[in-house]
Amino acid sequence: MLRNDQLAEWDRETFFHPSTHLAQFARGEVQSRIISGASGCHIEDRNGNKHLDAFAGLYCVNVGYGRPEIAEAISKQAHELAYYHAYVGHGTEASITLAKMVLDRAPDHMSKVYFGLSGSDANETNIKLIWYYNNILGRPEKKKIISRWRGYHGSGLMTGSLTGLELFHKKFDLPLAQVVHTEAPYYYRRDDLDQTEEQFVAHCVTKLEELIAREGADTIAAFIGEPVLGTGGIVPPPAGYWPAIQAVLDKHDILLVADEVVTGFGRLGTMMGSDHYGIKPDLITIAKGLTSAYAPLSGSIVSDKMWKVLEQGTDENGPIGHGWTYSAHPIGAAAGVANLKLLDDLDLITNNRETGGYLNSAMHDALGDHPNVGDIRGEGMLCAVEFVKDRSDRVYFDAADKVGPQIAGALADLGVIGRAMPQGDILGFAPPFCLNRAEADEVVTKTVQAVSRILD
Ligand code: PMP
């Protein structure tokens, strides 16, 4: 086995880490951390440190680590047939079975699933399908996509543009011109503190209507949103938000993409976030929870309405000019089948709902009155704590003080992984669905200690 110091040296010399301060890493100011094993909700590094991973990797290891059922399915598939492509009608038992399982779990009006590898590429697929759809319908000018500030949809060229976080645009010449952003349904950060949730929803609707009027409805193809804003701060929408937005989109013949990369397959305590909020999407993006990240796999679920037009398009133009070498990769598909089966067999979504609810209420009880805690919010197995300098007027700490990352760091020192969300001092939690109450208690107790180390 390679020595830790050898690996750390190679790491610094050769490895380009995503979402990392490259210069700080090179100078040794960001630690090299080599993860070597994991089981249930816990991960272990090469120095023997164990942590309760209360973010499930990147909210993706939903069934928990170390599941032999999934490992064996992957191994069996690799032995029998590691790869064959899915072009021109080819498939494998695993990919076809998974498509059926996905459609069985999606809203009734959905028709087909295209498999990719990551949430980003699935959203790229979605945008291409939307453009193709409008070209086939003879409205080539209807192409712009509305996204929300603080939305997260990936970090490719188009998907990085859809993402509404400054860090993903700055110095990359993004967003691209076809993308426009609208208000996030972030009730805690409303400008007018006197607004009720209902009034705030009306305000979000007005902002959307104004944007559509400004751009022209005949130039706008689609609206993309996560049922619950994830990376932008874990923000569940106020009651009534989704039906109100959907009504505006329907009125202007604008398609709706529900980006369920985080919420799909149980994270909110229901199978899909679209069902949870009564959203009727034209496309659904899935990834993370599809395989619990045991292998990379994503998908774009296409509605009946869009599918009919796509078929018509190929009759007029020939085969769809879209495909990756690794679309519906058999190993990812085998992982997906085993993962979705496990989710059912162990009734993990029920546990998620119950323990997630417990985690959220325990977090409220423990930190709800803290003078620097402005908001605690969550849904299912998602929870966020937002820190402020002054809770009476929701003033942020200076960004340079890095209060969020400091608290996340102190929490990690205590043995629990949460995530400092990239914008604002927000500590996020998205544990595996198998979290038990004792583990939820540990997350809360240690969060209180970490907050006290940094702020008291
Ligand atoms: N959409 C959402 C809602 C996400 O949270 C993410 C990833 N965090 C993505 C898309 C992009 O997925 P990936 O990182 O697999 O490209």
Mean local confidence (pLDDT), 157-165: 98
Residue among 374, 433, 426 at smallest CA distance from 229:
426
Q: How far apart, in whole angstroms, are the C-alpha atoms of residue 89 and residue 319?
A: 11
pLDDT at position 325: 98
Mutational pocket test of ligand 1: of 261, 286, 291, the residue with most ligand atoms within 8 Å of the beta carbon: 261
Check if 352 has its Cβ closer than 6 Å to any atom of ligand 1. Answer: no
- Residue 121 CA: which ligand 1 atom is closest? 16
pLDDT at position 1: 84
Q: Which residue has the tokens 């490992």?
A: 71
Check if 118 has its Cβ closer than 6 Å to any atom of ligand 1. Answer: yes
- Residue 288 CA: which ligand 1 atom is closest? 15
The architecture in CATH of the region 33-63+347-455 reads Alpha-Beta Complex (3.90)
Please give the distance, rounded to the nearest whole angstrom, from the Cα atom of residue 242 to the centre of ligand 1.
21
Check if 373 has its Cβ closer than 6 Å to any atom of ligand 1. Answer: no
- With 0-12 CB in 10 A as exposed, 13-18 as middle and 19+ as buried, what is 5? exposed
On average, the pLDDT of the chain sits at: 97
- Residue 296 CA: which ligand 1 atom is closest? 15
- C-alpha torsion 326→328→329→334, nearest 10: 170
Check if 428 has its Cβ closer than 6 Å to any atom of ligand 1. Answer: no
Query: Sorting pLDDT into bands at 50, 70 and 90, what band is 331?
Result: very high
Mean local confidence (pLDDT), 153-169: 97
Q: What's phi and psi for 274, nearest 5 deg? A: -60, -40
Q: From edge to edge, which strands make up the β-sheet containing 373-379?
A: 373-379, 382-387, 426-429, 419-420
* Residue 24, both tokens: 């700080």
- Residue 58 CA: which ligand 1 atom is closest? 8
Does residue 199 surpass a pLDDT of 90? Answer: yes
Check if 154 has its Cβ closer than 6 Å to any atom of ligand 1. Answer: yes
Helix extents (H) in 259-377 = 273-277, 304-317, 330-345, 348-367
Query: Sorting pLDDT into bands at 50, 70 and 90, what band is 287?
Result: very high
pLDDT at position 283: 98
pLDDT digits (tens, 9 = 90+) for 246-284: 999 999 999 999 999 999 999 999 999 999 999 999 999
Check if 444 has its Cβ closer than 6 Å to any atom of ligand 1. Answer: no
Q: What's phi and psi for 202, nearest 5 deg? A: -60, -40
pTM listed for this prediction: 0.98
pLDDT digits (tens, 9 = 90+) for 92-106: 999 999 999 999 999
Q: How far apart, in whole angstroms, are the C-alpha atoms of residue 40 and residue 58?
A: 15
Mutational pocket test of ligand 1: of 117, 262, 284, 286, the residue with most ligand atoms within 8 Å of the beta carbon: 262
Check if 404 has its Cβ closer than 6 Å to any atom of ligand 1. Answer: no
Please give the distance, rounded to the nearest whole angstrom, from the Cα atom of residue 169 to the centre of ligand 1.
16
Give the CB-side neighbour count of residue 2, counting CA atoms within 13 A: 11
Check if 260 has its Cβ closer than 6 Å to any atom of ligand 1. Answer: no
Check if 156 has its Cβ closer than 6 Å to any atom of ligand 1. Answer: no
For ligand 1, atom 12, which residue shows the shortest CA distance? 119
Mean local confidence (pLDDT), 114-121: 98
Please give the distance, rounded to the nearest whole angstrom, from the Cα atom of residue 261 to the centre of ligand 1.
6
Check if 264 has its Cβ closer than 6 Å to any atom of ligand 1. Answer: no
For ligand 1, atom 10, which residue shows the shortest CA distance? 153
Please give the distance, rounded to the nearest whole angstrom, from the Cα atom of residue 156 to the centre of ligand 1.
10
Q: How far apart, in whole angstroms, are the C-alpha atoms of residue 215 and residue 207?
A: 12
For ligand 1, atom 3, which residue shows the shortest CA distance? 261
Report whether 34 contacts 8 (CB < 8 A).
yes
Please give the distance, rounded to the nearest whole angstrom, from the Cα atom of residue 260 to the centre of ligand 1.
9
Domain 70-345 has CATH 3.40.50.300: no
The DSSP line for 329-352 is -HHHHHHHHHHHHHHHHTTHHHHH
Q: From edge to edge, which strands make up the β-sheet containing 144-148?
A: 110-116, 298-303, 283-286, 255-259, 220-225, 144-148, 179-182
Q: What's phi and psi for 229, nearest 5 deg? A: -55, 130
Check if 230 has its Cβ closer than 6 Å to any atom of ligand 1. Answer: yes
Check if 164 has its Cβ closer than 6 Å to any atom of ligand 1. Answer: no
Q: How far apart, in whole angstroms, are the C-alpha atoms of residue 67 and residue 87?
A: 31
- Residue 119 CA: which ligand 1 atom is closest? 12
The one-character DSSP state at 370 is -
Q: How far apart, in whole angstroms, are the C-alpha atoms of residue 223 and residue 245?
A: 9
Report whether 82 contacts 330 (CB < 8 A).
yes
Q: How far apart, in whole angstroms, are the C-alpha atoms of residue 407 and residue 200?
A: 31
Report whether 152 contacts 228 (CB < 8 A).
no
Q: Which residue has the tokens 């086939």?
A: 136
Domain residue spans of the chain: 33-63+347-455, 70-345
Report whether 74 contacts 315 (CB < 8 A).
no
Please give the distance, rounded to the nearest whole angstrom, from the Cα atom of residue 450 to the centre of ligand 1.
28
Q: How far apart, in whole angstroms, are the C-alpha atoms of residue 211 and residue 226?
A: 19
pLDDT digits (tens, 9 = 90+) for 226-245: 999 999 999 999 999 999 99
Check if 153 has its Cβ closer than 6 Å to any atom of ligand 1. Answer: yes
Does residue 31 surpass a pLDDT of 90? Answer: no
Please give the distance, rounded to the nearest whole angstrom, from the Cα atom of residue 152 to the centre of ligand 1.
7
Check if 259 has its Cβ closer than 6 Å to any atom of ligand 1. Answer: yes
- Among the residue ranges 35-39, 81-85, 391-395, the one predicted with the least confidence is 391-395
CA 400 to chain CA centroid, nearest Å: 27
ipTM at complex level = 0.99
* Residue 187, both tokens: 């009730």
**Cα separations in angstroms, 351 against 40, 268, 336, 380, 388:** 14, 11, 20, 10, 32
Check if 231 has its Cβ closer than 6 Å to any atom of ligand 1. Answer: yes
